[in-house]
Amino acid sequence: MVTIRTFASPVEAGMAKSPLDSRDIFCRLIDEDANRYGGAPFAMPIRLVVAEDQAEEAERILKDKSAELPESFDAGVDPAFPKEPKDMDEKILEELRGVRQANRWLLVVGIVVLILAIDLVYEIPRQRSPWSPVYQAVRIYDYPRAVELAKRIVQAHPNDSYGHEYLGYIYFQMGNLNQAEQEYSRAYDLSPPQGIKQKLEEIRKLRDLQNRTQPPATPKPWP
């Protein structure tokens, strides 16, 4: 079976099928119930299908304007189906447009809520972290205040390797390689990841070089 026509209305589909039936063309209407009760005729059109070997003849009959419907033809309009399908189609399209617009707003609201939720997930820990003022001081290159604040945290948590590592980073940015080496060494003793070891070796090389050359370049904030 092959599809030769599609229709948005059961009436139109029935009118097209009737002349084919009267000429013994084997044909059927597909998706008629889904079209009628699905709520959106254009979304589920009715398909007129015929036997493949009769498709040419069926096309010729449908194109023949002189073909008339038999007197016994019954449009078969369902009482539940609107008497004015065009008006109903317009109403359905308007409803679909309204649903689409509502979905767009829901999508926008959902994205905004998601962004706010993500921001809160990251912002709340930052606000609660005692290191937040230190990070802010480093960002504006206020290293003396950053050192003062970091020392207080390190004194309160002397066995926290991160505190010594970050304090060492601040000293390094200030060009104080001796203090930087001391803090990085302490961090390495507490928790010796490879990254701290490499940084410690870098500081020692720079310190040796500093004894013969100028201080290192302008410090940069913590990444």
CATH of the domain at 196: 1.25.40.10
Q: Look at residue 219 and tell me if it is in a domain.
A: no
Q: Are residues 28 and 89 in the same domain?
A: no
Predicted local distance difference test score (pLDDT) of residue 119: 72
Q: Are residues 66 and 9 in the same domain?
A: yes
Give residues with Cβ within 8 angstroms of 50, minimum separation 6: 1, 2, 4, 20, 25, 26, 27, 58
Q: Look at residue 218 and tell me if it is in a domain.
A: no
Provide the percentage of residues in the chain whose pLDDT is more than 70.
74
Q: Are residues 117 and 75 in the same domain?
A: no
Q: Look at residue 26 and tell me if it is in a domain.
A: yes
Predicted local distance difference test score (pLDDT) of residue 53: 86
Q: What is the CATH number of the domain that holds 53?
A: 3.30.70
Q: Who has greater pLDDT, 69 or 92?
A: 92
Give residues with Cβ within 8 angstroms of 88, minimum separation 6: 82
Q: Are residues 104 and 139 in the same domain?
A: no
With CA atoms as reference, report the closest residue to 182 among 205, 206, 165, 160.
Answer: 165
- φ/ψ (deg, to 5) at 50: -130, 165
Cβ(154)–Cβ(167) below 8 Å = yes
Q: Look at residue 221 and tell me if it is in a domain.
A: no
Stretch 193-204: mean pLDDT: 80
Q: Look at residue 215 and tell me if it is in a domain.
A: no
With CA atoms as reference, report the closest residue to 168 among 191, 139, 192, 188.
Answer: 188
Q: Who has greater pLDDT, 31 or 214?
A: 31
Q: Look at residue 31 and tell me if it is in a domain.
A: yes
Q: Quote the number of domains for the chain.
A: 3
CA angle centred on 35, ends 31 and 37, rounded to 5°: 120
Stretch 19-46: mean pLDDT: 72
Distance CA 38, CA 153 (A): 67
pTM passes above 0.75: no
The whole domain housing 95 covers 82-128
Q: Are residues 53 and 111 in the same domain?
A: no
